Amino acid sequence: MARVKGGKTSSKRRRNVLRMVKGYRFARSKKERAAREAIFHAGKYAFAHRRDKKNDFRKLWNVRINGGLDAMNTKLSYSKLINALKVKKVLVNRKMLAELAEKRPESFMRIIKQVS
């Protein structure tokens, strides 16, 4: 059986790895071993932060809703509003409430009047 040298395959693999780390700094963008490690870590961070992103947005919505309540000088706080919405069975999620508080305060005020 003839000997097969892996030059073509190795070059292709290396080229693909270096393409993935384009824009990275120092050795990570030039050397295959450092690049592989960078890809591995980037993948771990991407996986974890996809989950963190959901929490970050929920925190942002909470702040916006509470800010909307403060701007309207209501006695409600964020937690009391959410509880009142649940008791009155008003099905508006936090994302939509935050959007209303920021862009359509008159609609947000109507929802607040409905639950208080």
Tell me whether residue 1 is in a domain. no
Q: Supply the pLDDT for residue 12.
A: 96
pLDDT of residue 51: 96
Residue 94 sits in a domain whose CATH number is 1.10.1900.20
- With respect to residue 2, please indicate whether it lies within any of the assigned structural domains: no
Residues of the chain short of pLDDT 50, as ranges, are none
Cα distance between residue 35 and residue 32, in whole Å? 5
> In which residue are the tokens 């009391």 written?
80
H or E, element range at 11 = helix 7-20
pTM of the predicted protein model: 0.74
The parent domain of residue 52 ranges over 9-115
* Cα–Cα distances in angstroms (integers) from residue 47 to residues 94, 105, 110, in the given order: 24, 36, 40
